[in-house]
A and B are shown apart, each in its own frame.
Chain A
Amino acid sequence: MSVPAELNYTSEHEWVAITDGVATIGITAYAAEALGDIVYVEPPEVDTTVQAGDTCGEVESTKSVSDIYSPVNGEVVDVNRTVIDEPELIGTDPYGQGWLFKVELSQDPSDLLSPEQYTQLTEGEG
Chain B
Amino acid sequence: MTALGNESASAPRTTPLYEVHQDLGANLVDFAGWLMPLRYGSETAEHRAVREAAGLFDLSHMGEIHVTGPQAAAFLDYALVGHLSRVAVGRARYTMITAGDGGVLDDLIVYRLGDDEYLVVANAANHDTVVAALTERVPGFDARVDDRSAGYALIAIQGPEAARILAPLTDADLTQIRYYTGYRLTVAGVSVLLARTGYTGEDGFEIFIEPGTDAPRVWQELTKAGEQYGLKPAGLSARDTLRLEAGMPLYGNELSADITPFDAGLGRVVKFEKEGDFVGRAALAHAAENSRPRRLVGLIGHGRRVLRSGHEVLCDGRTVGSVTSGAPSPTLGVPIAMAYVDGGLDITAGKFTVDVRGRAEDVDVVELPFYKRDR
- Which of A's residues lie within 8 Å of B, judged by CB? 12-14, 27, 30-31, 33-37, 39-40, 58-60, 62-63, 65-69, 125
For this complex, 29 residue pairs linking A to B, each with C-beta atoms less than 8 Å apart, are A12-B3, A13-B1, A13-B4, A27-B1, A31-B4, A34-B27, A36-B27, A36-B39, A36-B42, A36-B43, A36-B237, A37-B42, A37-B44, A39-B304, A39-B306, A39-B328, A40-B304, A40-B305, A40-B306, A59-B1, A62-B43, A63-B38, A63-B43, A63-B327, A65-B306, A66-B1, A67-B2, A125-B4, A125-B5
Check if B281 is an interface residue, CB within 8 A of chain A.
Answer: no
User: Chain B contacts of A66 at CB under 8 A?
Assistant: 1-2, 4
User: How many interface contacts (CB-CB < 8 Å) are there between A and B?
Assistant: 58
User: Chain A contacts of B196 at CB under 8 A?
Assistant: none
Contact B328 A35 (CB under 8 A): no
**How many Å lie between the Cα of A68 and that of B1 in the bound state?**
5
Contact B44 A69 (CB under 8 A): no
User: Chain A contacts of B357 at CB under 8 A?
Assistant: 58, 65
Check if B308 is an interface residue, CB within 8 A of chain A.
Answer: yes
User: Chain B contacts of A59 at CB under 8 A?
Assistant: 1
Check if B241 is an interface residue, CB within 8 A of chain A.
Answer: yes
Contact B2 A12 (CB under 8 A): yes
Contact B305 A63 (CB under 8 A): no
Instruction: Select the residue from A33, A62, A67 with max chain B CB neighbours within 10 A.
Output: A62
Checking B1, B38, B43, B305 against A12 with a beta-carbon cut-off of 8 angstroms, the contacting residue is: B1
B12-28 Cβ-contact flags toward A at 8 Å (1 or 0): 00000000000000010
- Which of B's residues lie within 8 Å of A, judged by CB? 1-5, 27, 38-39, 42-44, 237, 241, 304-306, 308, 327-328, 357
Q: How far is the CB of A5 from chain B (nearest CB, A)?
A: 21
User: Chain B contacts of A33 at CB under 8 A?
Assistant: 27
Contact A62 B1 (CB under 8 A): no
User: Chain B contacts of A14 at CB under 8 A?
Assistant: 1
**How many Å lie between the Cα of A40 and that of B328 in the bound state?**
10
Q: How far is the CB of A72 from chain B (nearest CB, A)?
A: 15
**How many Å lie between the Cα of A37 and that of B305 in the bound state?**
14
User: Chain B contacts of A40 at CB under 8 A?
Assistant: 304-306, 328
**How many Å lie between the Cα of A33 and that of B3 in the bound state?**
13
User: Chain B contacts of A30 at CB under 8 A?
Assistant: 4
Contact A60 B306 (CB under 8 A): yes
Contact B5 A34 (CB under 8 A): yes
Q: Which residue of B lies closest to A126 (CB)?
A: B5
Instruction: Select the residue from B2, B27, B328, B357 with max chain A CB neighbours within 10 A.
Output: B2
User: Chain B contacts of A12 at CB under 8 A?
Assistant: 1-3
**How many Å lie between the Cα of A58 and that of B305 in the bound state?**
11
**How many Å lie between the Cα of A58 and that of B1 in the bound state?**
8
Contact A63 B237 (CB under 8 A): yes
Instruction: Select the residue from A13, A39, A59, A66 with max chain B CB neighbours within 10 A.
Output: A39
**How many Å lie between the Cα of A27 and that of B43 in the bound state?**
20
Q: How far is the CB of B238 from chain A (nearest CB, A)?
A: 9
User: Chain A contacts of B241 at CB under 8 A?
Assistant: 62
**How many Å lie between the Cα of A65 and that of B5 in the bound state?**
13
Q: Which residue of B lies closest to A71 (CB)?
A: B1
Q: How far is the CB of B97 from chain A (nearest CB, A)?
A: 29
**How many Å lie between the Cα of A67 and that of B357 in the bound state?**
12
Contact A62 B306 (CB under 8 A): yes
Contact A62 B5 (CB under 8 A): no
**How many Å lie between the Cα of A37 and that of B39 in the bound state?**
10
Contact B237 A62 (CB under 8 A): yes
User: Chain A contacts of B44 at CB under 8 A?
Assistant: 37, 62
Q: How far is the CB of B131 from chain A (nearest CB, A)?
A: 29
User: Chain B contacts of A39 at CB under 8 A?
Assistant: 304, 306, 328
Q: Which residue of A lies closest to B327 (CB)?
A: A62
Contact B1 A69 (CB under 8 A): yes
User: Chain A contacts of B305 at CB under 8 A?
Assistant: 40, 60
**How many Å lie between the Cα of A27 and that of B2 in the bound state?**
11
User: Chain A contacts of B3 at CB under 8 A?
Assistant: 12
**How many Å lie between the Cα of A58 and that of B306 in the bound state?**
12
User: Chain A contacts of B306 at CB under 8 A?
Assistant: 39-40, 60, 62, 65
**How many Å lie between the Cα of A35 and that of B4 in the bound state?**
8
Q: How far is the CB of B236 from chain A (nearest CB, A)?
A: 9
Q: Which residue of A lies closest to B42 (CB)?
A: A37
Contact A34 B237 (CB under 8 A): no
Instruction: Select the residue from A31, A37, A67 with max chain B CB neighbours within 10 A.
Output: A37
**How many Å lie between the Cα of A53 and that of B237 in the bound state?**
31
User: Chain A contacts of B328 at CB under 8 A?
Assistant: 39-40, 62
User: Chain A contacts of B308 at CB under 8 A?
Assistant: 65
User: Chain B contacts of A63 at CB under 8 A?
Assistant: 38, 43, 237, 327
